[in-house]
Chains A and B, each alone.
Chain A
């Protein structure tokens, strides 16, 4: 589903990420492992077309992402990629339903109210649909963020440290929800995590090498 070939990303003289080869097939669920600071977030951003690597090619669903012009890349991302950032970043000025409406709106897609209602039921936030993010529990906020990432039925679902700060039971639930929603949306899932508990819950894994970042 995606192929990363010969990617190296540098911040100035420091090499942050180096991936010679990583292929994933459609519908697979992957763990992107590595210790803190190994560049997991950067890899997710590269896959989402938010960061352009210094060298290398990234193909997602047959599209050469780095070859897209900025505007086209934004449009492509809105329709192809769902991202659950580590800090969730729900929009505080909007209630839960409007946060979910934001995804198709920003992607330039029609808002499917049925889809949003179904999703809120599926992730268990239908009762708080009129609340604002500040009124949600951490777990509810994360479920809203996952729902927001899959509203547009992305082909690629990316989650950054989704189990950080969660106890075992909740960590398992979050992973289950991500996998379930990825399957429902037909998406390839990549979960970036340094959490050992996640390894057993995902069938595939790719571990980033620890680079010599002493200079950083």
Chain B
């Protein structure tokens, strides 16, 4: 028998009103917590995918588009850059590493990326089965791709034209799976990797067959690539470096040798060449600003829910106080002090707020796990659902504060209760 026990007994007694308040509070808390979990996960995800990439260099287009296409593999790249540009970048003493990417085709909605083996290392990937590509049209599948397609080492598949599912198939682009990567949690899980030579092979043949010019890689920028290539790298000698037609790639991921490069290199590239250099860190931050405006709105709505449930809690307590003034009077008659009877109401309010807050967090984490389970793109959310974010303590603290605020006036009235008059009443 304690004040806590008493508060619980009262809460049980008025089960419907109690349930309503607790559920409303839980929904508010769950919404706040879920937006928190999702934005945290998104931030972590965006940061993880961009880790170690200081600069993305592509053809003329918006920097955001270049970062989205080159780092997150979600947007259409602006066009192509000559391979000579990659060699030009590699000669720069401030640059430690350049990874070229050749984009344009996909397989069942997963992008096929022509690149070099460093790309796998960049995301900390490792082979779960088989080996990396060695011949043109060898392909290595990211873990999500392998799971979704059920392809294994040795299987063959046909890439399709463009990024969307259902684009025209490259009938002659039959890839052979030589390896499958272990899951990394990064964007590489959702990519099909192959050599740059594969992409060249597929598209040279393709363009020989049908020079329709609608290729995702062949946008306007590609048409001027010849001239831009000359401007970019006057010193480079493509003709001696490689045989055949002018080779192109789509984007280049650049890692600096020194942090000082950040101060001058992007400006130099943007000013003195036809290329566009975009910083993933900067563009990601911009993207998150836009995203967080939306999140803030949802969160504001959730806080309105919390405020509404605080108001309901207040009404429920005020009502309970009217019904219970005899109980409080008898408690005083039995020796309880003013503070003690006020504490009974405060405790009850706090217990309800705590139940609502905990229930809300549980709902938020279950919802995050469910979203991660059902939406493959949000798979990392399922893992995130198992961990608590420190801010969740702040949510609990705020919910408890709401419990205290809701109980202030009823507790004050309990404190001021005229015991003798109440006992004599009726």
Contacts and interface: CB of A to CB of B under 8 A. Distances in A.
Contacts of A51: 420
Contact of B420 (A45, A98, A107): A45
B6 A77 contact: no
B108 interface: no
Size band of the B side of the interface?
20 to 34
A106 B1 CA distance: 10
A19 interface: no
B426 A42 contact: no
Contacts of B335: 74-75, 77-79, 103, 106-108, 152
Contact of B9 (A98, A108, A148): A98
A74 B12 contact: no
B327 A50 contact: no
A145 to B, nearest CB: 9
Interface string A83-103: 101010111111000100111
A139 interface: no
Interface residue SS majority, chain A: helix
B420 A50 contact: yes
B332 interface: yes
Interface string A48-85: 10110000000000000000001100110111000101
A181 interface: no
B330 A91 contact: yes
B337 interface: yes
A71, A78, A90, A106: most-surrounded residue (chain B CB, <10 A): A106
A89 B420 contact: no
B14 to A, nearest CB: 9
A129 B12 CA distance: 19
Given A41-B424, A98-B5, 18 more contacts: A41-B423, A71-B339, A74-B336, A77-B333, A85-B330, A87-B423, A89-B329, A89-B423, A90-B330, A91-B327, A93-B10, A93-B13, A98-B9, A102-B6, A106-B331, A106-B335, A107-B334, A148-B334
B87 interface: no
B129 to A, nearest CB: 65
Nearest to A41: B424
Nearest to B7: A93
A78 B334 contact: yes
A45 B424 CA distance: 9
Contact of B423 (A45, A71, A78): A45
Contacts of B332: 50, 74
Interface of A: 41-42, 45, 48, 50-51, 70-71, 74-75, 77-79, 83, 85, 87, 89-94, 98, 101-103, 105-108, 111, 148, 152
B9 A93 contact: yes
Contacts, number: 88
B312 to A, nearest CB: 20
B340 interface: yes
A87 B426 contact: yes
Given A93-B13, A102-B1, A74 B327 contact: no
Contacts of B337: 70-71, 74-75
Interface of B: 1-3, 5-6, 9-10, 12-13, 326-327, 329-340, 419-420, 423-424, 426
A115 to B, nearest CB: 13
A184 to B, nearest CB: 19
29 contacts: A45-B419, A45-B420, A45-B423, A48-B333, A50-B333, A70-B338, A74-B332, A74-B336, A74-B337, A74-B338, A75-B337, A77-B333, A77-B335, A78-B335, A85-B333, A87-B423, A89-B326, A89-B423, A92-B327, A93-B6, A93-B10, A93-B12, A98-B1, A98-B5, A105-B1, A105-B3, A106-B340, A107-B334, A107-B336
Contact of B334 (A71, A94, A103, A111): A103
Given A50-B420, A75-B337, A98-B9, A89 B330 contact: yes
A150 to B, nearest CB: 12
A111 B5 CA distance: 14
A83 B13 CA distance: 26
Nearest to A91: B327
A128 B230 CA distance: 99
B330 A94 contact: no
Contacts of A89: 326-327, 329-330, 423
Nearest to B325: A89
B13 A92 contact: yes
B426 A106 contact: no
Contacts of A41: 420, 423-424
Given A89-B329, A91-B327, A111-B1, A106 B336 contact: yes
B12, B333, B426: most-surrounded residue (chain A CB, <10 A): B333
Contacts of A92: 13, 327
A45 B421 CA distance: 9
A45, A51, A91, A107: most-surrounded residue (chain B CB, <10 A): A91
A111 B6 CA distance: 15
Nearest to B339: A71
Contacts of B2: 105
